[in-house]
Amino acid sequence: MHSILKRSLAAVVAAGFSTSFAVADESQLSGELKITSDMSNPAPRAVMESLAAGFGELHPDVDIELTIVDREAWKTQIRNALGANPPDVVNWYAANRMGPYVSAGLFEDISDMYANGDLPGLESVKGALTIDGKQYGVPYTYYQWGMYYREDIFKELGLTEPETFEQELANCEKIVASGRACYAIGTKFLWTAGGWFDYLNMRTNGFDFHMELARGEVPWTDPRVRETFANWRKIIDMGGYVADHQSYSWQEALNFMIEGDAVAYLMGNFAVAAMREGGLDDSQIDFYQFPKIADVPQGEDAPTDTFHIPSGAKNKENARAFLQYVTSADVQTKINAGDALGQLPINSESSVDKDEFLEQGFEMLNTSAKGGVAQFFDRDFSAEMASVGMEGLQEFMVVPDNLDDILERLEETRQRIYE
């Protein structure tokens, strides 16, 4: 373990990860800090090792033990790891995904760190770490969702980026008339339909309503939910989506956009790399925020990865200092750079690489997401509700006339889970 940290410390210094930001009583920190991380893929692993080493450089009297476990395995191991003799810091996810561990008393309440100003620059996603008015972790990276589109085809058809849903639909009519689909999507693995529901519901009814639905506080048969599906059906009825989307993964469906048979894709920023690899250059693709439907605060999907302190941790002072370190503006800038995680820093005082999509996403999430930041359908809804829900969303996209049956089925599931 120590050999890993020594090697990564050299990399940290070379890459400029070392920072001089102030940490309260940093000279007095000593003892141990045990970190368990699921950042097991090569680039995230290098980032995690650099974080441990950089913190160790600031606090040489702290003996840091870093354990990196397989990302998928961690999903089943975390509950046991948080039980007897837990580490001091762990990786996890925001919103509903942290809910079971908060309810079980396994994550430490760190509300005082937010209240005391120990964690500046995190206001845009503070809500995603909040349950019953208390905060239970810190974010370290996220990425935006939005509409990626073929800029060259927009120019060919004389289209401009829409600001309202009416303009979106008007664009779609012209795209369909040109013999193309408006949107690429592959719903074979269900979750992509969740992104469409998230945005249509947040734009129709607002972020707060969307989260109330996610918490099981609103019936699926509520007229406001039906209004969301009515807006969705406007796209379906005009033939806005690629045919047989239930047969494609999201990557397979991307080929429709690359080949020019579809013009836009509602997707996370991770799709940009695949677009570039598919042969599109940045002059052919662009990005815009999902347009306004009703006069409600704009919410955005931005799945967020987090660090938490187990409630049974033995070295909580050191753990809190580490949480301050990983959320500082300089460190967030460096770990999210293109040669590291290649995503967005959460701290609003950070900066991003000279990449037009990262820059647009960073500005959008820090200036336009006034409603709040959602974590995506399968993170915001409970696991069982998300599973049944996404099946229903895909079915609606294929057979929209089944809406009544779908909503009744989802409502039965909601009542069984939450009431």
Give residue-wise pLDDT tens across range 243-292.
999 999 999 999 999 999 999 999 999 999 899 999 999 999 999 999 99
Q: Hey, what amino acid is at 330?
A: D
Q: Which of 18-22, 29-33, 62-66, 168-172 has the lowest mean pLDDT?
A: 18-22
Dihedral sign (CA 153, 272, 362, 166): positive
pTM of the model: 0.85
Q: Is the pLDDT score of 368 beyond 90? A: no
Section 314-334 average pLDDT: 97
Q: Is the pLDDT score of 55 beyond 60? A: yes
Q: Is the pLDDT score of 15 beyond 70? A: no
Per-residue confidence at 2, pLDDT binned at 50, 70, 90?
A: very low
List the CATH code of the domain at 145-301+372-418.
3.40.190.10
Q: Hey, what amino acid is at 90?
A: V
Q: Is the pLDDT score of 33 beyond 50? A: yes
Q: What is the pLDDT of residue 65?
A: 97
- Domain borders along the chain are 2-142+304-350, 145-301+372-418
Select from 1.10.10.10, 3.40.190.10, 3.40.50.1000, 1.20.120.450 the CATH code of 2-142+304-350.
3.40.190.10
Section 99-103 average pLDDT: 93
Q: What is the pLDDT of residue 25?
A: 44
Whether 2-142+304-350 shares its CATH topology with 145-301+372-418 is answered yes
Three-state SS annotation for the chain: CHHHHHHHHHHHHHHCCCCCCCCCCHHHCCEEEEEEECCCCHHHHHHHHHHHHHHHHHCCCEEEEEEECCHHHHHHHHHHHCCCCCCCEEEEECHHHHHHHHHCCCECCCHHHHHCCCCCCCHHHHHHHEECCEECCEEEEECCEEEEEEHHHHHHHCCCCCCEHHHHHHHHHHHHHCCCEEECCCCCCCHHHHHHHHHHHHHHHCHHHHHHHHCCCCCCCCHHHHHHHHHHHHHHHCCCECCCHHHCCHHHHHHHHHCCCEEEEEEECCHHHHHHHCCCCCCCEEEECCCECCCCCCEEECCEEEEECECCCCCHHHHHHHHHHHHCHHHHHHHCCCCCCCCECCCCCCCCCCCHHHHHHHHHHHHHCCCEEECCHHHHCCHHHHHHHHHHHHHHHHCHHHHHHHHHHHHHHHHHHHC
